[in-house]
Each structure stands twice: as structure tokens, then as C-alpha cells.
Amino acid sequence: MFFRLFCMFGYRCSLLSPSPSIGLQISLVKDLFRFLLHPGKAPSPSFVLHSFFFFRSSSSLLSIFCFVSFLSLFLMQIYHEFFAGSWLKMDFQEQFFKERIKFIHEARDEKEESFEKLQQQEREKVKQSNPNPSNAEEYRRRADEIAKFIKFQDEEMQAFVAERDKLIKAHEKKMVGMRERHWQEEVELEKEFDAELSHLMEKYTLDGSKVNAGNT
């Protein structure tokens, strides 16, 4: 349906300019649609020639539209070819797992940020409790309590940071081991495939004695 409407649009546009024939314009539209539906395939030579010819010999909307569309799609094709190994052709499953890992990292960062804010809030809460002591003795007692709490919290946070560093190192060690196992497994799979392929080629290698035996 959409293709028919597009062809009708091409016919209407052809009426604006008497130079190009309707048949060539319809051919140009078909080529454009083939390129749109299959952007990986190179455009036909007729598409390039017709586009350039119409653009030079006609001021119709169809000719300008097709020529500009060709240029845009051609540049997109070049971009895909030069960046074939980039994220544009990344495996969907690999991208899916990368997104999951990214989500885990972001959630972890938010959790640590919330933890730090909670520690700061607790310190501020202790500092602001009983802000107006009745006498000097009460003021000194309250100052000692705050100092003890701050010291205790600092010691706790130092212990937390030390244990966190241990966790990070252990996690990094596990990740290195996992990657090594992955690469080793991939090497073994490649060797296995190579052996099976060699066996298959030997199976179908022509042997003169086998051919003669088969003929007899």
C-alpha cells in the first residue's frame, strides 16, 4: 500500500517537470525502495545515473528527494562498512548482558552514596542534639560525647574502607580468573572445531585408490 502511494507521489511529481519520463521515475522509485529495505546492498548503477540525471535535468520534487535520499543512504552504508566492528554490529545478547552489568554498577554506586549520606546525617544528628546546655558542665559533657561519637564513627569508617578494599581486590581477582577461564575455554573450543574440520576434510578428500575401488 505504501509503495503504491509512493509511486503515485512520483507520478504527481513527474507532472511538474516534462523532462524525465514516467517510466524512468518509477524505476528510480523502485531502486530507492530496494536500497531502503536492504541498506547493506550497494545501489544499482541505474539508480545512481537516474538520480544524477534527474537532479541535473529536472527541478521536480521527486528528483531532488531521490537524489538527497541516495546521498544520505550511501553515507550511512559507508559508515556501517567502516565501523563494522563497533557497537552498531554488536551482538544483541552481548549488549543485553552489558546493560545488566551497567545497571548493577549504577545501583551499587547509588547504594554507597546513600550509605555515606546516612553516616553524615548520623553525625549531624549527634552534633545538634541538646544544642543549648544549661551550664558549663553540661556543655563539656556534651562536647565529650560528640567527640567520642566522631572518633568512634571515624574508626568504624576506617575499618569499613579497609574491608571494602579487600572485597574489591578479591572481586578483581575473581574477575581475572573468570576471564582467563573464558579465554582458555574459547581456545579449547577453537582447537576442537579445528580437529573436527580437519577430520571432515580428510573424510571428503579424493583418494585415487578409493575411486578405483569404487569403480570396480
Share of the chain above pLDDT 70, in %: 52
Contact predicate 32/62, CB 8 Å:
no
Residue 138 has pLDDT above 70, yes or no: yes
Name the band, by pLDDT with cuts 50, 70 and 90, for residue 125.
confident
Residues 161-193: tens digit of each pLDDT: 999 999 999 999 999 999 999 999 999 999 999
Name the band, by pLDDT with cuts 50, 70 and 90, for residue 123.
confident
Question: Is 64 exposed, middle or buried, given 0-12, 13-18 or 19+ CB atoms closer than 10 A?
Answer: middle
Name the band, by pLDDT with cuts 50, 70 and 90, for residue 50.
low
pTM: 0.49
Place of cell 560525647: 145
Averaged pLDDT for residues 64-73:
60
